[in-house]
Amino acid sequence: MARTQGHGNPDWTRDETILALDLYFDLNGKIPSGSDERVRALSDVLRRFPYHAGASKKESFRNPDGVAFKLQNLRQIATGKGLGNVSETDRKVWSEFGTSPAQVKSMANLIRAGVVASEVAKPEMLDFEFAEGRVITELHSRREREPKLRQRLLSSRRASGKLFCEMCGAPPRSTNAEFEDAHFEAHHIIPLSSTGERTTRLSGLALLCANCHRLLHRAIAIEKRWLTVAEGRAMFGISSSN
């Protein structure tokens, strides 16, 4: 097998490695060459990643031979056989998801959806990243900011009583209806990697003030696991009055 001529290319990211692991599972451990259609298809997806715009101009960047080489690395971790040039990211991703092909498939589908979404919108400027990787984090953020989704949640909460943050209990800072909604944001109770690409239900959302939403997202990124609103409240010593 030809070895990728990838000197000077950026290291494989977590979400790229998850995509490679998904293909590894699909191949049932049988590694093809870089000429295989499935390998070439993954190479195409990787070269479209939003934060590799500069590197993707190089022919060596995530080319099919490089993808096949990454699959060899994953097989080495899985079986102890083959190439030994594996990265710390390879080991971490395998340690977390090496026995969960279904979860990897779900995340891989979301990552692909995130790549497509990024092609019609500017990349998100986020200062946190969930355990699922940067692309899914950006997709998650975009979905939470969808105006129709947020408005549905606000209308539902308003119909059942007064609006308040479900983490800290704070009401809107203004009683003016035109400003009232601006205090709140929609938060997914369950991560996209668990729900997949299906339509978001209101039962899967919490209404949070912007400050609590940011705090909870940062905590999720640091803890590398999804936290409930109640866990976020306990972590920050918040006593809700609602």
Helix, strand, coil percentages (3-state) for the chain, rounded to 5, are 55, 5, 40
DSSP string, 144-197: HT-HHHHHHHHHHHHHTS----TTT----S---HHHHGGGEEEEESS-HHHHTT
Same domain, 35 and 113: yes
What is the per-residue pLDDT across 35-45, written as a single tens digit (0 to 9) for each? 999 999 999 99
Is residue 96 in some structural domain? yes
Same domain, 107 and 174: no
DSSP string, 83-99: -----HHHHHHHHHHTT
Same domain, 172 and 91: no
Same domain, 109 and 189: no
Question: What would the two tokens of residue 237 be?
Answer: 């010593």
Is residue 105 in some structural domain? yes
Domain stop point among 99, 118, 137: 118
Is residue 240 in some structural domain? no
Q: How far apart are CA 17 and CA 25, in angstroms?
A: 12
Same domain, 149 and 112: no
Same domain, 23 and 109: yes
Same domain, 71 and 158: no
Domain count, the chain: 2
> What average pLDDT does range 54-69 have in this prediction?
84
Same domain, 99 and 162: no
Is residue 4 in some structural domain? no
Q: What residues are paired with 209 via a beta bridge? A: 184
Whether pLDDT at 112 is above 80 = yes
Sequence length of the chain is 242
Is residue 140 in some structural domain? no
Whether pLDDT at 100 is above 80 = yes
Q: Would you state the pLDDT for residue 104?
A: 93
Extract long-range pairs of 57-61: CB within 8 Å, 24+ residues apart: 58/8, 58/9, 60/4, 60/5, 60/6, 60/7, 60/8, 60/9, 61/6, 61/9
Q: Which residue has the higher pLDDT, 131 or 74?
A: 74
Domain stop point among 101, 118, 135: 118
Same domain, 172 and 207: yes
Say if CB 220 and CB 227 are below 8 A apart. Answer: yes
Q: Would you state the pLDDT for residue 17?
A: 95
Domain stop point among 70, 99, 118: 118
Is residue 129 in some structural domain? no
Is residue 171 in some structural domain? yes
Q: pTM (2 decimals)?
A: 0.68
Which residue segment(s) compose the domain that 92 sits in? 14-118
Same domain, 169 and 219: yes
Same domain, 155 and 230: yes
Extract long-range pairs of 90-96: CB within 8 Å, 24+ residues apart: 90/12, 90/17, 92/14, 93/14, 93/17, 93/18, 93/21, 94/21, 96/131
What is the per-residue pLDDT across 82-97, written as a single tens digit (0 to 9) for each? 666 789 999 999 999 9
The number of C-alpha atoms within 13 Å of 208 and in the hemisphere containing its C-beta is 22
9 band by pLDDT with thresholds 50, 70 and 90: confident
Same domain, 97 and 193: no
Q: How far apart are CA 134 and CA 137, in angstroms?
A: 5
Is residue 127 in some structural domain? no
